[in-house]
Amino acid sequence: MCENKAIGIHALEEPTPRLKASELVDLPSELISLVVEYLPKDDLCTLRQLHNQRIASAIDTVFVSRSTIDQGNDSGEHSRMSFCHLVCRTTRTSLAYIKAVSGSRFAPRIRTLEIFIDLECIPKRPGTWPACMIATIYGLEARIFFKSLFQRMRAPSLDSLLRPGIFIDLWEIEYMGHDHTMDPVSYRSLLDELIHAALDEIQRLEHFSILGYTVSQWQSVLAETKTILQSITATPDLQTLTTLNLELEMYTDTTDCMLKKIGKIIGRNSNLNVLKLDAGPETHPYCKSNKHWVPLIWLLGSDPPFRLQTLEIDGLVASSTAPSLAHIIKTHSPSLRRLVLRNTNFGPLNTIRAFFEALAESEVRYYAWKMFLVHRAGSCSFLTSSHLVYEEVEVLASEVDIDTTPTYSLDTEWVNIIWQNVPLHKMSVWDDLRLKGDIKAAFRNVVMAMDCGAI
């Protein structure tokens, strides 16, 4: 035994033999592919620099799977691009790189596309002020301004002198800190061009994300949701998605057009297992009842061609004419592991008891919610952070009146409801880690609390 170990150690200490390019040329392509699997990345690059067509074609698959290109964009950030995973920002530089990669022979190997919002500012008077590297827009600091026939946006003022929602001509704010503007129409055109450039060439896209357009109303107007969804639905090859993550203003308080288009997209992707939808900024009036979510809810709850592992929705409005959330959970119960609901209108046909009963019978291991509105009951977000505690007490025979005391299955248990305050702006989370692997019991406790009248 010791002798074998010594031989093994000795073998590991021997220098790794170096291959010469000339030794690979005469090998079949299949063998070359097997050999280069064990070569470091530097050696792969060396082989490509030989400009030998036979070797280059044989090592393509391995080279593409390991290669990553880091390119800086116009705003000083980096667009991480690999031949199977594209992560880009909405800048002209990123668009040029996507066109280059999407139009290359490596396009068929692209599997993931993630598009993040990036705002490029330009000086109003070139040469007078240095251009900003990036304009980061957040919540209350966003200002929207219009001038003559051209809609333009001004980056957030550093001194925050103006209140949100005030409309004013640009000339009136030239004296305020930030002297840069941007054109939303041009920005939307750039975003549409970027999506077209990618989707027209990518044939087997598995992960698709558009992120950052629902942080506030400022960002939401920069994306023309209807045009974007039309581009996606018009891509016939987009039937291999496993993940769809969209943060776009869906205008669900006035129309169901956007959600119907999303239904068409996911309805033809039988391998979909992750669905994340953010339907608009947090100021979105999700508390107002409407039936615009009905088409998507029907698809999710009526035996869809896919089974989800992750479902995250922000801004969902339930309806009495669509399946309940409990029914959706039961439909995806064998596979569903993660459920996140933000700003949810828990409308008629939905009950807290049925909802948690469905969770208890499912395999969900992570559940989070924020602003869960129940009709005629106000916010029920506090339920997620409560639990039941059982304490055994001694019951004396002399204290028990058989004629007047009701019979319980467990007469020695008293129920103590512990309420923990969760701020409305924070997520309430239940998972196996927090509940020490007993998340099913936590779901059942809510059902028991409702049955006994504690909730």
Q: What is the pLDDT of residues 379-413, one digit of tens each?
A: 444 344 444 444 444 544 554 444 444 443 443 44
Domain boundaries, the chain: 20-66, 72-118+186-380+423-451, 122-184
Token couple for 277: 């939808």
Low-confidence ranges of the chain (pLDDT < 70): 1-24, 61, 63-83, 105, 119-183, 282-285, 287, 375-425, 437, 454-455
**3-class DSSP state of 218:** helix
Residue 316 near residue 287, CB atoms below 8 Å: no
State residue 138's pLDDT score: 34
User: Could you identify the residue written with the tokens 């001194």?
Assistant: 159
Residues 129-185 pLDDT 10s: 444 433 433 333 334 333 333 344 444 433 333 333 333 333 333 333 444 455 677
**Dihedral angle sign, alpha carbons of residues 14, 15, 16, 21:** negative
Helix (H, G, I), strand (E, B) or coil at 287: coil
- Note the pLDDT of residue 410: 41
Phi-psi map region of 371: left, alpha, beta (phi>0 left; psi -120 to 50 alpha): left
With CA atoms as reference, report the closest residue to 336 among 275, 294, 380, 269: 275
Q: What integer pLDDT is reported at residue 425 of this predicted model?
A: 65
What pLDDT shows up at residue 140?
A: 33
CA–CA separation, 120 vs 327, rounded Å? 45
Residue 256: half-sphere exposure toward Cβ, Cα within 13 Å:
15
Nearest to 298 by CA among 271, 318, 268: 318
Report the run of H or E that residue 267 belongs to, with start and end: helix 257-267
